[in-house]
Structure 1
């Protein structure tokens, strides 16, 4: 099939953007499908230093420019609508300019689904959207009252990463048979446990410290500064912060802080001793799934989304806002080598249940089942 994907997507300037989408879409290609990706690029985005590669690319990728006015509520109007309209034009322009052919449209996140729908509904093709947000209710607030419900009902089908999101879709009037619930998964040929010493040498990381890894946007709800605060009382602990964002962690405990291409993430995870993410909300967390696949014990949040991914055999889940609890959980793992080794082995065993190739096949099977309806 010919698949058109509308989503955020990695680039040489921003290799970590939409990595989970990239990994899934590459699997679509491996299954023999022809995939084109349109990933609109904000014309006002700050240029970052380019990397050599964000990974092997099997798709055709277009990055048309659009204008954004941020996401601010002014009375009954949200400025996100300016960016939305600009992206609708960018997608429509790209499809027309390159005479793109496609059998269906697959978008990741509901906002991209709406962009695709309003840009391309004249082509009379089915639209499918992956729902991975932490809450559809929060997303709906940035749109006019009836706009969200009207657009969401025009989708042919949905892929929800959690039962919570599936139930929210049902609350918006989506029939259950139009929803495929499938948690996020990992490419186990890329995310696996490497030799710790070799990875530390490769990235020039200290050999004499226990290392905590954080992967994600540096945002308050993700908690990078809470991780930093939780380790500051320990002389023998350093932290890897893989990502970027406004809440930038700094200090002597930070031994690595950088946004990297997706293929480097499992190498850096393998250099660490424990993964810590005190997040306040998630859809289905790719960073946690990837850390589990690399054999890392997990310290994260006692919220339903994370509890769906983790069990006590390899994780300690705490109040994400309680820095002392985060600190105690880290100490419990780093201070007991036998416990840490057992948790690592349990994580590796658990990861076998979440393989991305099977997920890609299942999603496309669901879509094909809805194709003629």
Structure 2
């Protein structure tokens, strides 16, 4: 089949770590024998990042129309996100027309991209399917005029939700259960697996004498990079690896690595660490946790429903994500007990076998093919 993917959350040479989970999934679509085109809008006002040589093997044809963003600010009945949305719709339309794109269906990643895709491409009379991986859909609806949102989602033939929480929210919008496929996020186990720790530390020039904590994600308050840093700073002989970028930049003597890295480097850096820590306040289905488990890392994360669905006590400790002392104690309890740490690592590796991305990609496409009949 010819698949058109619409997602503004997709890696690039300027931002190699952005949307890696979307990238991994659509690469699997290609490996299953499908022809995939990706339209990934880029904000024209975004500051320039230093380019990397590659963000990984690319089997899709990727188009990157420029859009203008005015953030997400509510001014009376108007939300400034609508500026970006209208710009994105225009860019999607122009790209499809200019390149004479042929597709059997549209697969949009996240609801916002789905609504833009519908309003850009509905005249093509092709089916639309949307992956729902947001942490919450209720606040999202406030960004749109009510009737506009309701009319847009009527054009969507099916939804792939990563959690039961999101499935229930879709049902609350009036979506029939048979139009929703619940499938948690998964990992490419041919890329995410446990490497030799010493070799990976040598490769990335990381200290051999420290226990290392890994964080992967945007440097945002709700993700908690500064809470991780504060917890680590209170521990002896512990350093931290921060993979990502954002406004809450971790700075301090405990930071031994801090960089936005391409997808292929993440499993190598995870393998250099001893433990994964993510005190997130909200998630859809956390790719970073799934990837850390696949690399055999014990996990310290948040006692919230989304994470509790992903993490088993055999390899994780879940705490209040805002309680730095609890985060610190959880990290220390694992790092100070080598036998326990090794057991948790083996349990994580075994658990990861339940979440393989090739099976997930096949299941999603089977759902879509069934819905198109």
**TM-score when scaled to structure 1?**
0.99
1:309 offset after TM fit, Å?
A: 0.3
- What is the CA–CA distance in structure 2 between the aligned matches of 1:120 and 1:56, rounded to whole Å? 28
Match of 2:357 in 1: 356
Match of 1:6 in 2: 6
Match of 2:366 in 1: 365
Task: State the SS of the aligned residue for 1:308.
Answer: helix
- What is the CA–CA distance in structure 1 between the aligned matches of 2:175 and 2:78, rounded to whole Å? 26
- What is the CA–CA distance in structure 1 between the aligned matches of 2:88 and 2:173, rounded to whole Å? 25
Match of 1:112 in 2: 113
Please tell me whether residue 204 in structure 1 is matched to residue 205 in structure 2: yes
Task: State the SS of the aligned residue for 2:342.
Answer: helix
Match of 1:239 in 2: 240
- What is the CA–CA distance in structure 1 between the aligned matches of 2:149 and 2:347, rounded to whole Å? 42
Please tell me whether residue 333 in structure 1 is matched to residue 334 in structure 2: yes
Match of 2:55 in 1: 54
1:147 offset after TM fit, Å?
A: 2.0
Deviations 1:225-248 (A, max 9, x none): 000011111120000000000000
Match of 1:266 in 2: 267
Deviations 1:258-311 (A, max 9, x none): 000000000000000000000000000000000000000000000000000001
- What is the CA–CA distance in structure 2 between the aligned matches of 1:328 and 1:76, rounded to whole Å? 46
Match of 1:135 in 2: 136
Structure 1 segments of 4+ aligned residues over 6 angstroms from their partners: none
- What is the CA–CA distance in structure 2 between the aligned matches of 1:225 and 1:75, rounded to whole Å? 34
- What is the CA–CA distance in structure 2 between the aligned matches of 1:171 and 1:71, rounded to whole Å? 24
Unaligned runs of at least 5 residues, structure 1 = none
Task: State the SS of the aligned residue for 1:36.
Answer: strand
Please give the root-mean-square deviation of Cα atoms over the aligned residues, in Å: 0.6
Equivalent residue runs for 1:1-373 within 5 Å = 1-7=1-7, 8-372=9-373
Task: State the SS of the aligned residue for 1:249.
Answer: coil
Deviations 1:151-199 (A, max 9, x none): 1222000000000000000000000000000000000000000000000
Q: 137-146 or 99-108: which moved more? A: 137-146
- What is the CA–CA distance in structure 2 between the aligned matches of 1:115 and 1:142, rounded to whole Å? 13
- What is the CA–CA distance in structure 2 between the aligned matches of 1:144 and 1:300, rounded to whole Å? 36
Deviations 1:321-340 (A, max 9, x none): 00000000000100000000
1:149 offset after TM fit, Å?
A: 2.1
- What is the CA–CA distance in structure 1 between the aligned matches of 2:302 and 2:69, rounded to whole Å? 33
Deviations 1:83-126 (A, max 9, x none): 00000000000000000000000000000001100000000000
- What is the CA–CA distance in structure 2 between the aligned matches of 1:108 and 1:16, rounded to whole Å? 16
- What is the CA–CA distance in structure 2 between the aligned matches of 1:231 and 1:30, rounded to whole Å? 41
Unaligned runs of at least 5 residues, structure 2 = none
Task: State the SS of the aligned residue for 1:146.
Answer: helix
